Structures are given as structure tokens and as C-alpha cells.
Structure 1
Amino acid sequence: MLYEITLHDICFARNENDKYIFKNLNIHISRDNGIIIILGSSGLGKSTLLYLLNGFLLAESGFVRVNEIEIKKGVNFDFNKFRTTMCSLMFQHYPLVNWLTCEENLLLVTANMDKINYYLDYLDVLGIKNKYPPNISFGQRQRVSLIQILLAETGIKLLDEPTSALGNDNKYNIIELIKKNSVVNNNLIIIATHDRDICGYANETYKIQNQNVKKIK
């Protein structure tokens, strides 16, 4: 499937009197799979960009178009369906349901236990599947949250700092898994990160600067 993503003349500020995070932002992405990395330091708008793509935030002007779906103020459509069938988001703080075990959190996404156990084993968190999120480390929580998104039946996956809590071994293991997922499942995966070490895995790389986003690879 070919994914077409357009951000057209996007202007966005957090509050009415705040400085713009993005001003007259224009991007067009056309791919059938692969990894796209959005680079930027803290506070420049990496998370904001993902939220705009997912419809959690709406721009003051301009529009976001994901394939045939246009996201802008004044246009109503089923955001929940969009987020569960087209464009899912892994939040930076990795929210899981605290009163469900890690396995039960994953079962919210799929009933396929073979896939669940494969991902848990690959990311070395099989031993915590019966534990509750408050009783595991932040890095483990991050990996379980990533598995949720990889298991989701969405073609576009937005990942907010998916390697920030991990050491190098786990970091590269995760990026290898994400790369494999994008090819095998024909997924387009957009990663917001400050980590330049993983840019070598990207098919395209963009950098946030001067209230805009510039392609650098």
C-alpha cells in the first residue's frame, strides 16, 4: 500500500499568545514502507508533529492529509477508527493500563499469542509478561509499549522516542525489529528522536529547525 502524507501550510502554537512551534510547514511523504526519522532537540516540536499527524492536535491553519483523510479544524470524522486502523501512536511516556498485566495489555491489541510471545522474547521481556506495569522498569515499559504498536493493525506507526530509555544493545535490537516490521508488514514508521545514532536505519531523515521541518536525507 502506498502511503501519502501531506502537511500543508501548517501553523501551530500551544496557546494563543505563544510563539509558533511550526509556521507555514509543508511536507509531502510518499512511500509504501520504511522508516522516517524526525530529528530535533527537546522542546522543538517532535511530539507535536506526531500529534498533528495523528489528530490529537489540530493546527490553527493549514491541513494534514493522510491518504484520503484530511485532518483540520472544522472537519469531523471518526478519529478513533483512524487511530486504530490507519495511524497509531506510541506516546513518549508509554502509557499502559496499570491494573492489567503486560500480557493483558498486549491482548488489548491482538489475540495472537504466538506474535505476542515472539515480540516479548525478541525484546527480552518475556519474563515480565505476567507482571503489572508499575512493577517493571521504565525501559521494560517502553519495550512493551512498542510491542503494542507493532502489533496494532495500522499501516502507519508513529513512535515518540522509542529508544530513549535503553542502552545501546537494546536500542539497536529495537531498531532492527522496527526495520523488519516495516518491510514484512508493509508499514510506514515515523520515529521522532534526538538520537542521531539510529539515523543510519532511516530511509528518509528530517530535522526540525526554525519552526519548520527540513529533509536532510
Structure 2
Amino acid sequence: MIKIAIKKELFGVSQKMELDVNLDIKSGIFLALAGQSGSGKTTLLRCLAGLEKSSGEIVVDDEIWQNDRLFLAPQKRCIGFVFQDYALFENLSVEQNLLFVQKDRALCDKLLKMLDLSNLKARYPAKLSGGQKQRVALGRAMMRRPKLLLLDEPLSALDPTLRTKLQDEILKVHSEFGTTTILVSHNPSEIYKMANLMIELENGKIVKNGDPKHILLKTQGSQKFVFSGTLLSLEKLDSIYIATVSIGQQITQIALDEQDGLKVGDKVNVSTKAFNLNLSKG
């Protein structure tokens, strides 16, 4: 069991706010953290890792990492941290990057094989693709057999095909090692596929907590689906308006009877009702 009960003052997008998280989660779970930029997701990860100080308590499998008398340094916490920018040692080969963490060649070889890196073990980061670098970063994080694997949007810079492949790699490692994994992601399909628990933060507070399927599939009234997107343009054509909306990696157009106060740049929801597409502010 992992107990998190911490508070920390921080600056949000437009004002000061307090990160205030009180949460108990089962060990071995895959947790996804969602929420707008500036809601406190990355700060929460950094507090768990000991990279930032907060008040309160963190207990992992009965081991106290933090309370009002104790604060374990990051190197004394059994964590693996994968950043968006890889943070590899450029002067070390793939194999050396993993062995730098721990001189366990058997574990290194196992991870290289699991992550399809065995043929690249002598290569240096400058000669790797983005997806290969991310697999090295994941392998290096797992060299400590961490109790907590913290993933801060590690796949956001990758193309959709490679992103899907890396999702599979992360799930394979998570299952093999039985670690507790916490992933920060803005991608609903990624959260739906990977996580068995989802938490959404808003202004530093938990506003949603539960099964990703129930949270992400929740609709209103008789709507059959709801997708979030961004309004790219709104043009009048005869007696109707044509709204162009970006949803994930795709762009679609919707015919509207009225402008309804919409303006370019608005976050919007696209939904169906009685087989018609509806568009409303998000």
C-alpha cells in the first residue's frame, strides 16, 4: 500500500495554489494522472521522488519516505523516473547507461532483450531515434527494480505509431516487475489503454478518482460519445456555420445552426445526440 498525504504551495497558470493530495493506492497498480497544464501533476511526481519538498507524509509499503521528522533523499527512495526529454548520459553507450545505475549485468541483459535494445547496446544516444532513447530511459529506470516507476509524459513527443509501441513496452515492463507505475498523460486513449486507476487534478486538488473507463466514457443525457478538441476556425456559409475542430491527431468539420458564442481557440466538446453532431464549449 502507498499512502500519499502531502501539501505544497505552488504557482498555477495564473495564480498561487496549493497542491493538496490525500490518497491511498494499492501497490502494483498502474495509475494515470490527468489534468490541465499547471494543475500540479509533475510537482506531485517530483514530491514523490524527493526532488521537491512538501509537508505531510509519504509511506511506501510500510517504509516512511517522508513525514514531519524524516525526509529521504531521492537516491534513498526506491524509484525509477522517466522524463519527457530522456536525460540520458550522452558519453555512455546504451548498455553503460543501464549499468551506471547498478552493476547487475543479468538484469541489464534482461531489460535490453525485453525492450528490443540488445542489438543497440554498444550505440551512443546521439545515434538513437527518439523511440529508442525512450526505451533506454525506461530500461535505466527499471535497473533499480523500483517500488515506484514515475513517468512524466514520456511519449508525448513521439508519433502515434511509435507511441502505441512504447505503450506496449511500458505495460510489459510494468507487468513483469510488478512495480507501481504513475503516468502523467494528457492522452485519453493512452490512459484508457494503460491505467487501471485514473486521477484528475485541478488547481492542485483531486477532482476525479476512479476507473478510467468510467471517467473517460461518462456522457451526458442521451449522448453516445463525447470527444474534447480545439476550435480551429468558424466560418459562415449561407445560413449555417462550419466549425473546424482538432481532436487528437485528427481534424473534423461540423455544421452548426448558430455560432453559440464560440470563438477560435475555444476548448470544445463534440458529441452525438439522436444521430446529430453537437458542439459545445468544454
TM-score exceeds 0.5: yes
What's the offset of the Cα at 1:62? 3.0
Residue equivalent to 1:36: 31
- Kept in 2, the 8 Å contact 1:123–1:173? The answer is no
SS in 2 for 1:108: helix
Q: Alignment partner for residue 151 of structure 2, among 159, 179, 185?
A: 159
Residue equivalent to 1:63: 57
- Kept in 1, the 8 Å contact 2:17–2:203? The answer is no
Q: Which has a greater percent of helix?
A: 1
What's the offset of the Cα at 1:32? 3.0
Residue equivalent to 1:4: 2
Q: Alignment partner for residue 180 of structure 2, among 188, 203, 212?
A: 188
Distance change in 2, residues 1:123/1:185 (3 Å)? closer
Q: Distance in 2 between matches of 1:199 and 1:4?
A: 20
TM superposition score normalised by structure 1: 0.80
- Kept in 2, the 8 Å contact 1:35–1:202? The answer is yes
Q: Which residue type is aligned with residue 4 of structure 2?
A: T
Residue equivalent to 2:127: 135
- Kept in 1, the 8 Å contact 2:36–2:202? The answer is no
Number of residue pairs aligned between Structure 1 and Structure 2: 206
Q: Distance in 2 between matches of 1:36 and 1:88?
A: 15
TM superposition score normalised by structure 2: 0.63
Further displaced range: 198-207 or 160-169: 160-169
Q: Which residue type is aligned with residue 41 of structure 1?
A: Q
Q: Distance in 1 between matches of 2:146 and 2:186?
A: 25
Further displaced range: 71-80 or 128-137: 71-80
Residue equivalent to 1:197: 189
SS in 1 for 2:101: coil
What's the offset of the Cα at 1:163? 1.6
Aligned residues: percent identity? Answer: 28
Residue equivalent to 1:170: 162
CA RMSD of aligned residues (A): 2.7
Could you say which structure has the greater relative contact order, defined with CA pairs below 8 angstroms and 6 or more residues apart? 1
SS in 1 for 2:181: strand
What's the offset of the Cα at 1:199? 1.5
Q: Distance in 1 between matches of 2:162 and 2:5?
A: 33
Larger radius of gyration: 2
Deviations 1:64-99 (A, max 9, x none): 3333314257634454222xxx22222232211111
- Kept in 2, the 8 Å contact 1:207–1:216? The answer is no
Q: Which residue type is aligned with residue 142 of structure 1?
A: Q
Deviations 1:1-38 (A, max 9, x none): xx323224x132159xx61252x332221x13131111
Q: Which residue type is aligned with residue 6 of structure 1?
A: I
Deviations 1:129-175 (A, max 9, x none): 32222333333222210111133221211111122232333323322
Moved over 6 A (4+): none
Unaligned 5+ segments in structure 1 are none
Further displaced range: 152-161 or 173-182: 173-182
SS in 1 for 2:136: helix
Distance change in 2, residues 1:20/1:161 (3 Å)? same
Q: Distance in 2 between matches of 1:182 and 1:210?
A: 29
Q: Which residue type is aligned with residue 17 of structure 2?
A: Y
What's the offset of the Cα at 1:52? 0.7
Deviations 1:29-56 (A, max 9, x none): 1x13131111123333221110011111
Q: Distance in 2 between matches of 1:165 and 1:38?
A: 18
Q: Which residue type is aligned with residue 56 of structure 1?
A: L
Q: Which residue type is aligned with residue 202 of structure 1?
A: A
